A and B are shown apart, each in its own frame.
Chain A
Amino acid sequence: MPISHETYASLTLEDTLWGLRSGAFTAPELLDAALARIDACEPAVNAVITMDIPGATKAAGAWPRNGTRAGTGASLAGAPIAVKDNLMTRGLKTTCGSRILGNFVPPYDAGVVEKLRAAGAVIVCKTNMDEFAMGSSGRNSAYGATGNPWNPKLVPGGSSSGSAAIVAYGGVPAAIGTDTGGSIRQPASFCGLVGMKPTYGRVSRWGVGALGSSLDQVGPITRTVRDNALLFDIIAGHDGRDSSSLENPFVPTLPTIEDGVAGLRTAYDPGLLDRGGVHPAHAEAIRFAVKAIRGAGGEVVEVALPLVKYGVAAYYIICACESSANLARFDGVRYGVRERAGGGLWDTYSKTRGLGFGDEVKRRIMMGAYALSSGYYDAYYLKAARVRRLFATEYEKLLAGVDVVLLPVTPAPPRPLDQDCTPLENYLGDVFTVPANMAGIPALAFPVGTHDGLPVGVQAMAGYFREDALYRLARTIEKEATLSDPPWARPAPEAGQ
């Protein structure tokens, strides 16, 4: 039975799968609703770089009714999913949000995309993002800024700006993002969503346009905690093509998600909330979560979070160094947009990169090349690498004593889309998200309520491979939280609002 796009918009991933299996609607009907919703919302939000209507139609057509055909075990069969535009998709343009890859059609699928396709997902589109995942506003895209569906005059966060925005306006029930220093959690939080940054190595990086290779992880962005676990369970696992992929067996998280917080030890740093310019609503969100945990029979202790003030400085050195090398391959010769110049090869290189990269990308390439150069390496890269090792050991120590640490996702709520700030102001907004990337541990952002018409989230970090604990905790708090008037339950926003 056809389904209206307004009804579709508020369906969770579990709802869509249930509806497909029960025969309430078919995958093509669901896709029609998704396309209608996306059409209605895109003019105001700009969450999408490339639609894949032929591919999605074909994928949906494979599941005409009763999503899981007997025996296939395809757990996402027929569900519309959006994928960030830095995950390679075979035969489908993949820009990484950059002009330099404006014509790049990869010949292969990312590991995560393979898993999604194998599970029967219908990949609807490639989502907008800060160029090469550099940014936390969604403004650094060569394809235009993305608006926040809660209030299109505000930023949606970034760099997975489009993946968060499209889930928030109900274009798809779930999307894939990448997180190098908060790029899943921060936009998820700004858009009232659940976003997981998994343990480093838990999800394959094969086919992910690299930013900071030692920090990058792929993860799901959804509206509910259960949806998030469901999708995480599908994309996680070993991939022999990624040498940093973990070989220890993956235990699915969804089966234990309703186990509650009894037996989980949660810590938070009250000092962090009082000092350090955390917005009162964000501090209040932590207190709300603490109360919910205690109310559900969980233990909460107070700790002092280590090293927080060193995180941003060390993170930006490591990330810039790695990305300066990762971006060296883009010269317009073998693929990508070539800007011809009369003076020969080296002029073509300069012009291609000069026009192809945005300001933030150039800034990071220069910072990274500088920090790695002879005479500066020890003072910058090496020192940052040592700080990073401290993060790993200190957080491992901390998480030996507790299961979960609660902290804010960001110090402040989203800024207006038209407000310019200095790069440093932007970088400092990552203060609470970079520790998990530095330590390689999993971290989950999830909403606990609304304040002044905007969602407010909290972040939980756990020890290596303890995504299950994060989901249990978040699921428990989610039951106490209400989000009033979320964009997925509203009519499509009007452009130019």
Chain B
Amino acid sequence: MSGRKYVTTVGVEVHVELATRTKMFCSCLNAPQGVAPNLATCPVCLGLPGSLPVINREAVRLGIVAALALNCAVNPRIWFERKNYVYPDLVKGYQISQIAMPLGERGWLAIIGDDGAEKKVAINRVHLEEDTARLAHSGDNSLIDVNRSGAPLMEIVTDAVLRSGREAEEYVRKLRAILVYNGVSRCRIQRGEMRVEANVSIAPEGAKELGVRSEIKNQAGFNHMRSAVEYEVRRQAGALDAGGTLRQETRGWDDVNQRTFVQRSKEDAHDYRYFPEPDLPPLNIDPAWVAAVEAALPTGYEDYVAGLLGQGLTAADVDALSRNDALGFLRLAASAMGDKTVLFAKRLIKDVFALANSTGVPLDESRLGPSAFRDAALLLENGKIAAEGFRTLLDVLYREGGEAERRAGENQLFVETDAGAVAEAISKVFAENPRLIEDFKNGKIAVRNALLGRTMKAVGKRADPRVVSGLLDQALQHQGRADHDRDTRLPRGKS
């Protein structure tokens, strides 16, 4: 296509909303579900005069977790700046952000590069800031929902070191997996919990300086980002090949027409007039705190994946877990790597992902938490509930949440350990099916299965088939002996 060869350079900026209970600078709930617009607010996140911010310690902790997971240095003394600009979603007219001294700096994240070898993508910075309100436009009207205003946001910026849309996509996928795995953010793209921007430029091979870059805003997904970067590379090469020049500009992605379009040129660029936020004194990040956070970090993501493979899970299993954002879930469910991990992983893949498919609700949107899942799996493992009951329990937990034990009790899923009740059911079945009993006595062993089925039905889901089966066999033996002994007693009271 093109006469000249170009080198592509991509840098990626990712914003993620942190999974904290409350907002970045006030105690309003962060991203509460089912709260009407503008009600999860207070003077601080409404930007009322006289209100003042207070730093959310949990947001800083999650920032430290992210910085460490991305191999960054955590700065021992950080501060916040005001980033000044006017927009209807920005209630104070400035965003509290970080510019001079971010929480984390100089990290890396390993991906498989275009050449097939491992590539460490240099991470320039990890910083904390606050989200804006949400705007909804309809016709001539715009509506504002301040519930999102002040939500804790983390920005992760790479150096300009990626070489293609594929590398950029690989980086963002890996980044997302690591953040979800470490519990930093749920990164649900469709909910705006993760937003991606790419800076793309091309330069003739061998050139010393980077070309003029364009910044592509807010792509809705990984595929979009890759398409947008690849389109942009083609567009820029076409312009240069045609003897044109490029302008530094902000572009959007038009997914319908599969192309980027100009949103803002450099001349219209904001001067953000950053200055230190006077309402927040610098924050000392105690090295002992960082050490404690580091000590409490889960096994590194890469090691965890390697560990799963070592435990006998297949690459396909791990891929399924990863695609369903279930690695962090699994890690929380099975605290130590071991045979339980494999067991839980298989249950997740077999039963939970099936629920995700049948209900259309992905795991991270469901009400099922890791500890409830673990408890449910252990109930099954310990024979407290049957396989059928386990599936019912998962279904309840998935849709309604709650604790496994309590839900199992409410739904009468515990196996019947009262052998008396089973025995009563057996005698009832025997009484109602004299023909079958007769057949059995006459050597038609196969009718045992029919009797088992009827007994199971009589006892209900609470019955553990193994228990029922055992008691049934005992009863049938007694039936045989009864002919000899004239003893019609059935075994009672023994489990």
> Do the two shown chains form a genuine complex with each other?
yes
What is the bound-complex CA distance between A186 and B313, given in angstroms?
77
B262 interface residue per 8 A CB criterion: no
Tell me if B49 and A101 are in contact (CB < 8 A). yes
Q: Does B94 contact A (CB under 8 A)?
A: yes
CB contacts under 8 Å to B, within A374-390, are: 374, 377, 381, 385
Q: A101-B49, A328-B92 are in contact. Are A240 and B54 (CB under 8 A)?
A: yes
Determine if B84 and A328 form an interchain contact, defined as CB atoms under 8 angstroms apart: yes
B93/A325 in contact, CB under 8 A: yes
Q: Is A108 an interface residue (CB 8 A)?
A: yes
A241 sits at the interface (CB 8 A): yes
Q: Which of A94, A110, A329 contacts B93 (CB 8 A)?
A: A329
Residues of B with C-beta under 8 A to A244: 278-279, 281
Q: In whole angstroms, what is the CA distance A349 to B87 when docked? A: 10
Partner of B88, one of A324, A325, A345, A381: A345
| Among A202-210, A265-273, A284-292, the stretch in contact with B | A202-210
Query: Which of B3-11, B40-48, B295-303, B452-460 forms contacts with chain A?
Result: B40-48
Q: Which of A212-259 contact B (CB under 8 A)?
A: 212-214, 240-244
Q: Are B54 and A243 in contact (CB under 8 A)?
A: yes
B82 in the interface (beta carbon within 8 A): yes
A373 CB, min distance to chain B CBs, angstroms:
5
How far does the alpha carbon of A373 sit from the alpha carbon of B273 in the complex, in Å?
5
Taking a contact as CB atoms under 8 Å apart, the answer to whether A110 and B278 are in contact is: no
CB distance from B143 to the nearest CB of A (A): 12
Which residues of B have CB within 8 Å of A209?
A: 49-50
Central interface residue in B53, B55, B144, B279, by most chain A CB within 10 Å: B279
Q: B275 and A372: CB pair below 8 A?
A: yes
Report yes or no: B48 in contact with A335, Cβ–Cβ below 8 A.
yes
Q: Indicate if the CB atoms of B50 and A206 lie closer than 8 Å.
A: yes
Scan A184-209; emit 1 where CB is below 8 A from any B CB, else 0. Answer: 00000000000000000000011111
Q: Which 8 A-B pairs have the closest CB atoms?
A: A328-B93, A214-B278, A372-B273, A213-B278, A207-B50, A209-B49, A88-B50, A329-B47
Among B82, B271, B281, the residue within 8 A (CB) of A243 is: B281
Task: Evaluate contact between B49 and A243: CB separation under 8 angstroms.
Answer: no
B47–A321 touching, CB < 8 Å: no
Please list the residues of chain B having a beta carbon within 8 angstroms of any beta carbon in chain A. 43, 46-55, 82, 84, 86, 88, 91-94, 142, 144, 146, 271, 273-276, 278-281
Query: In angstroms, how far is the closest chain A Cβ from the Cβ of B431?
Result: 73
Q: Shortest beta-carbon distance, B101 to chain A, in Å?
A: 15
Q: Assess the B93–A213 pair: CB atoms within 8 A.
A: no
Q: Does A469 contact B (CB under 8 A)?
A: no
With A328-B94, A333-B88 as contacts: A205 and B275 at CB distance below 8 Å: no
Q: Does A179 contact B (CB under 8 A)?
A: no
Residues on A lying within 8 angstroms of B by beta carbon are 86-88, 94, 96, 101, 104, 106-108, 110, 205-210, 212-214, 240-244, 321-322, 324-325, 327-331, 333-335, 345, 349, 369, 372-374, 377, 381, 385
User: Once the chains are docked, how many angstroms separate the CA of A87 from the CA of B46?
Assistant: 17
Contacts of B54 in A (CB 8 A): 240-241, 243
- B contact patch SS: loop
Cβ contact within 8 Å between A334 and B46: yes
Contacting A372 at CB < 8 Å: which of B84, B86, B92? Answer: B84
| Across-interface contacts of A331 in B (CB, < 8 A) | 86, 93
List, in ascending order, chain A residues with CB within 8 A of B142's CB: 345
Contact present for A321 and B275 (CB under 8 Å)? yes
Interface centre among B43, B142, B273 (most CB of A within 10 A): B273
A334 to B275 Cα, complex, angstroms: 25
The answer to whether A322 and B50 have CB atoms under 8 Å apart is no
6 A-B residue pairs with Cβ-Cβ distance under 8 Å, sorted by A, are A212-B278, A243-B55, A243-B281, A244-B279, A244-B281, A349-B86
Contacts of B94 in A (CB 8 A): 325, 328
Q: How far is the CB of B14 from chain A (nearest CB, A)?
A: 25
- When distances are taken between beta carbons in the complex, the residues of chain A under 8 Å from B47 are 329, 334
The chain A residue with its CB closest to the CB of B92 is A329
Given the known interface contacts A214-B278, A244-B281, A334-B46, the answer about A205 and B93 at a Cβ–Cβ threshold of 8 Å is no
Task: Give the residue among A208, A210, A334, A377 with the most B Cβ atoms within 10 A.
Answer: A334
**B84 to A, closest residue via Cβ:** A325
Q: Please give the distance in Å from B188's CB to the nearest CB on chain A.
A: 28
CB distance from A205 to the nearest CB of B (A): 6
A349 CA to B54 CA, complexed, in Å: 29
State whether A208 touches B50 (Cβ < 8 A): yes
With A205-B52, A208-B50, A369-B84 given, name 13 new contacts (CB 8 A).
Answer: A96-B49, A209-B49, A210-B49, A243-B52, A243-B54, A243-B281, A244-B281, A325-B93, A329-B92, A334-B47, A373-B271, A374-B273, A377-B275
Q: Is B92 in contact with A241, judged by CB distance below 8 angstroms?
A: no
B27 nearest CB neighbor, chain A only: A241
Please, which residues of chain B bring their CB within 8 A of the CB of A104? 49
Contact A329 B91 (CB under 8 A): yes
| Most chain B CB inside 10 Å of its own CB: which residue of A86, A241, A345 | A241
- Write the chain A residue with the least CB distance to B44: A241
Cα distance A96–B280 in the bound complex, in angstroms: 23
What is the CA–CA distance of A333 and B142 in the complex, to the nearest angstrom?
12
Question: Would A110 and B50 count as touching, CB distance under 8 A?
Answer: yes
| B50 CB contact (under 8 Å) in A106, A321, A327, A345 | A106
Report B296 CB to chain A, min CB distance, Å: 26
Closest Cβ neighbor of B49 among chain A residues: A209
Q: Which residues on B sit within 8 Å (CB–CB) of A210? A: 49-50, 279
Q: How far is the CA of A345 from the CA of B47 in the complex (A)?
A: 19
Chain A nearest Cβ from B273, distance in angstroms: 4
Task: Establish whether residues A243 and B48, one from each chain, have CB atoms under 8 Å apart when the complex forms.
Answer: no
Q: Are A243 and B279 in contact (CB under 8 A)?
A: yes
> In the complex, what's the smallest C-beta–C-beta distance from A192 to chain B, in angstroms?
30
A108's partner among B43, B55, B271, B276 (CB-CB below 8 A) is: B43
CB distance from B40 to the nearest CB of A (A): 15
Residues from chain B with Cβ under 8 Å of A101 in the complex: 49
**B128 nearest CB across to chain A (Å):** 15
Contacts of B93 in A (CB 8 A): 325, 327-329, 331
CA distance A207 to B44 in the complex (A): 10
CB nearest neighbor in B for A101: B49
Q: Which residue of B lies closest to A132 (CB)?
A: B49
Q: Which residues on the B side are within 8 Å of A243 (C-beta)? A: 52-55, 279-281
A106 to B273, Cβ gap below 8 A? no
Q: Which residues of A contact B88 (CB under 8 A)?
A: 333, 345
Q: Which residue of B lies closest to A214 (CB)?
A: B278
Give the Cβ gap from A267 to chain B, nearest Cβ, in Å.
Answer: 29
* In the complex, residue of chain A having the shortest beta-carbon distance to the beta carbon of B272: A374
**Of B50, B92, B93, which is in contact with the most chain A CB atoms at under 10 Å from its CB?**
B50
- How far is B50's CA from A318's CA once the two chains are assembled, in angstroms? 19
Pair B49/A242 contact, Cβ less than 8 Å: no
Nearest-neighbour CB distance to chain B for A408, whole angstroms, equals: 28
Residue of B49, B51, B55 with most chain A CB atoms under a 10 A cut-off = B49
Bound Cα distance from A335 to B48, whole angstroms: 8
Q: List chain A residues, Cβ under 8 A from B271.
A: 373-374
Shortest Cβ distance from residue B132 to the other chain A in the assembled complex, whole angstroms: 13
* Closest partner residue, chain A, to B46 (CB atom): A334
**A106 / chain B contacts, CB cutoff of 8 Å:** 43, 48-50
Inter-subunit contact A381/B275 (CB<8 Å): yes
Minimal Cβ-Cβ distance residue in A for B54? A243
A104 shortest CB reach to chain B, Å: 8
